[in-house]
Structure 1
Amino acid sequence: MSDHPSCIDISHWQGFPDFEEVAAQGVVACIMKATEGTSYIDPNRAANYINATAAGIACCTYHWIKPGNAAKQMEFYLSVVDPVGGERMVIDYEEDGLQLPDLLEAVEVLKADPRGLQVTVYSGHLLKEQLGIDCDDYLAENTDLWLAQYTTGTPSWPSGTYPHWTLWQYSESGEVDGIDDTNVDLNRFDGDNDELVRWISPGGVAPPKPPKPEPSEVVTVGIMAPENIGVLVTVNGDEVSERRGRRRRRLLIPRGPDLR
């Protein structure tokens, strides 16, 4: 399994990543911590969300839920994020002391929101132990599963409620260029990257990719071609020119990212 997955999740512990460099590793999606309990706001989320989106990474957020006051916690989460229509919101269900009524109450608040939110539950052993092999019809109909289980083999999950996991956090000790001095959670999506971007995007509609910057400079390259030796010039994998002859050939080549 790749150490550079297409989806990561972060909080303030990862600081302020260089998302251009993160995207260059093949990351196309990122889930960011927004809130916890009824008062904590992740101080890095707003800036990171803007910067990641500008780098072409699709994003959504999660709330670390604590035992009790589930409705107030979700109201707080909604007030901080102020989601757009169809936005995906994640309930991080892992703290000791949580019970299924807490989770059900939280989901009900998000699903009652008139903006038609998409709801995902993040959990590992806690939810599996509480659900067992039974099917909770409400969770099955209104949520999908982001599984947390660190194993190199086949994971296990509460399949009675969720026949399939949607996202699997398989490591908490990954390394991603652009995120320094800390480990990163790595995730695998049950589908390809295009499906992942649609899943994490509001209403399942992928955002437009940022336009490629126009070349701001021109690099002049001089080539001395010996007699009867063919010369094929490519820039960033694209063929620019093919010349033959004894004369010096002078080509004007637009500056590309690999020539910086």
Structure 2
Amino acid sequence: MDVASYQAADYSTRGLDFAFIKITEGTTYTNPKWVAERKTARDASLVTGFYHFIRPGSVTEQADFFLSRITLRAGDILALDWEDPGVSSDQKDAWIRYVQKKAPGHRVILYANYDYWINRDRSSFAGDGLWIAHYNGKPGNPGIKAPWRFHQYTSTPIDTNVGNFTDKAALLAWAGAPYVPPAFPAGLAPGKHTPSAKPLQKALRAAGFLSITDADLSDTYGPGTQAGVGHFFAAHPEFRSQGKPHDVAIGPRGWAYLFTLAYDQK
């Protein structure tokens, strides 16, 4: 979702992977809730993005005002909210390019609604990615030919978005965030039925230790998953339980290393 001063600082993060937070507008307005809204996002381990609502006037002064309000962390995404008809396509391009130079290492993207992108844009420039707003009720299908990274598909009951990424790990890698493997789940064991078996199977597949299709993913830590864990241990025996040459039960250390091996793209 994306939030501004209209939303509560302790908005619900259930089911979310990322959040965009409004910080500034023009050269005088700062969202009084943005720090608390950022805390809510980071407490939930969401990928965080921050945006500036551009108004007519100096684009560099507005960019400097925006950047002066925040101490950036690796993986933070920066966005320009282009909705004012008094701001030209050239000006939005200049803002994005200026921020890219001032904040190297951070993705800088453009937020624009369907009308602005189709009818007002003159350059097809969106920095590191286009965040397109088109309330067409089709999440992930914004109805444009240009590549896009985020689609805001509804404003009911709150502005809600979907990212064009295979999963959160891919979003983290794109944003440049340091990879943190998920916590080892309680109850994960061979032969057990648990939702954490699917992430394990996906990580084994991504790391090359298990050949499985999405249709074959299961909540059961069955023979196939056990075989995949066995292949992982064969390649990395330091994570196998001592005295168990045929161990198929992954533990916290092996889990963390497997997920880092599978998804850390740095």
TM-score range, shorter chain: 0.5 to 0.7
Secondary structure of the residue aligned to 1:13 is: coil
Greater per-residue strand proportion: 1
Change (3 A) 1:91 1:237: closer
Residue number in structure 1 paired with 2:147: 164
* Residues 99-120 of structure 1: CA deviation (Å, up to 9, x unaligned): 0121121012111115332111
- 1:30 CA drift (Å): 0.6
Q: CA deviation at 1:167?
A: 0.5
Q: Which has the higher helix share?
A: 2
Paired residues, number: 189
> Which secondary structure state, in structure 2, belongs to the residue aligned with residue 43 of structure 1?
coil
| 1:189 corresponds to | 163
Q: Which residue of 2 aligns with 1:38?
A: 27
Equivalent in the alignment of 1:118: 107
1:91 corresponds to: 80
**Judging changes above 3 Å, is the alpha-carbon distance between structure 1 residues 95 and 208 closer, same or farther for their aligned structure 2 residues?**
farther
Residue 75 in structure 1 maps to residue 64 in structure 2: yes
Letter in 1 for 2:137: T
- After the TM superposition, which parts of structure 1 deviate over 4 Å for at least 4 consecutive aligned residues? 206-213, 234-238
Distance 1:17 1:86, change over 3 A: closer
Larger radius of gyration between Structure 1 and Structure 2? 1
Change (3 A) 1:55 1:150: same
Q: Does the Cα contact within 8 Å between 1:122 and 1:146 map onto a contact in 2?
A: yes
Q: How does 1:94-109 map to 2 (within 5 A)?
A: 94-109=83-98
Q: TM-score, normalised by structure 1?
A: 0.63
Identity of aligned residues (%): 22
Alignment check: 8 A CA contact 1:56 1:209 kept: no
- Whole-angstrom distance in 2 between the partners of 1:237 and 1:75: 44
| Partners of 1:237 and 1:31 in 2: CA distance | 28
Cα pair distance change 1:192/1:97, threshold 3 Å:
same
1:187 deviation in Å?
Answer: 0.6
Structure 2: segments with no counterpart, 5+ residues: 187-192, 198-266
Letter of the structure 1 residue corresponding to residue 9 of structure 2: F
Change (3 A) 1:152 1:48: closer
Find the aligned partners of 2:184 and 2:104 in 1 and give their Cα distance. 29
Tell me by how many angstroms 1:54 deviates.
Answer: 1.3
How far is the alpha carbon of 1:237 from its aligned partner? Answer: 9.7
Shift of 1:79: 0.4
Higher RCO (C-alpha 8 Å, min separation 6): 1
1:208-227 matched pairs, under 5 angstroms: none
Query: Is there any run of 5+ residues in structure 1 with no aligned partner, and where?
Result: 1-7, 174-182, 214-233, 239-260
Contact 2:75 2:172 in 1 (8 A): no
Whether the 8 Å CA contact 1:197–1:206 is kept in 2: the answer is no
Q: 1:86, 1:115 within 8 Å by CA — same for their partners in 2?
A: no
Letter in 1 for 2:148: W
Do the aligned partners of residues 92 and 208 (structure 1) sit closer, same or farther apart at CA in structure 2, a change above 3 Å counting?
farther
Give the 3 Å change call, closer, same or farther, for CA 209–52 of structure 1 in structure 2. Answer: farther
Match of 1:248 in 2: none
Distance 1:92 1:236, change over 3 A: closer
* Structure 2 counterpart of 1:55: 44
Listed one character per residue, the Cα deviations across residues 160-208 of structure 1 (whole Å, up to 9, x for unaligned) are: xxx31110000011xxxxxxxxx3111111123325641674x244456
